[in-house]
Amino acid sequence: MGVEKSLNSVSLPLPKFKGIAVEEAISRRRSIRSFKKEPITLGEISMILWAAQGITGEEWGYKLRSVPSAGALYPIEIYLATKDGIFHYLPEPHKLIKISDNDVRRSLARAALGQSFIEEAPLVLVITAVFERTMAKYGDRGHRYVYAEAGHVSQNVYLECESLGLSTVAVGAFYDKEVQHVLEIPNDHKPIYIMPIGHKKH
């Protein structure tokens, strides 16, 4: 993929499974739009990305991930924006590929109709999808499957954030082409959600 003409890569720590009960995470889940400047650790980033798209096992010759996917076609691609640059998540080696050194959080906030809390968050996760992966098998109905899968990813991110003592919100109001331009991603990687992540301001 074009985005993998990386400047460098970041290997992520292995996931650690010691979070709160799923019922507690569900009951505590809220959409938060105010974040501290406190940084997020690489271990926390690792857990969030594993919850979003991490490999959970192998069956019937497929590498299975943390969310269900129609036909195990996995159209979702995850990008991160931080003060250190833009990164693309690769699930199977569980690592990040750096695409740029630019801090684009302010530009992402502008692309999202000026929602300033996106700029304030130490980590901004962008859920994108390559629709053709699913539509090649399922035709127009593939649109529905891709959007459903993005919803699964978003909910996993919400719940993992609760487990880690972090907060997030799913943002759907933005200019698609502008987000693609800011992140320097291919045209077929269509943005679906922007999820700023951080420690909630009290």
Successive 10-residue mean pLDDT values, the chain, 202 residues: 55 86 91 94 97 94 93 97 97 95 98 98 98 98 98 98 97 98 98 97 80
Q: What pLDDT shows up at residue 16? A: 85
Does residue 145 lie within any of the structural domains?
A: yes
Does residue 38 lie within any of the structural domains?
A: yes
Where do the DSSP E strands lie in the chain? 8-11, 55-59, 62-65, 76-82, 85-90, 95-100, 123-129, 167-168, 190-198
Does residue 57 lie within any of the structural domains?
A: yes
Does residue 14 lie within any of the structural domains?
A: no
What CATH number does the domain containing 66 carry? 3.40.109.10
Q: What pLDDT shows up at residue 8? A: 86
Does residue 66 lie within any of the structural domains?
A: yes
Does residue 60 lie within any of the structural domains?
A: yes
Does residue 97 lie within any of the structural domains?
A: yes
Does residue 13 lie within any of the structural domains?
A: no
Within 10 angstroms of residue 199's Cβ, the number of other Cβ atoms is 18
How many structural domains are present in the chain?
A: 1
CA separation for the pair 151, 143 (Å, rounded): 13
- Its domain, for residue 177, covers 2-8+20-198
Q: What pLDDT shows up at residue 5? A: 40
3-state secondary structure of 11: strand
Q: What pLDDT shows up at residue 18? A: 80
Within 10 angstroms of residue 114's Cβ, the number of other Cβ atoms is 10
Q: What pLDDT shows up at residue 4? A: 42
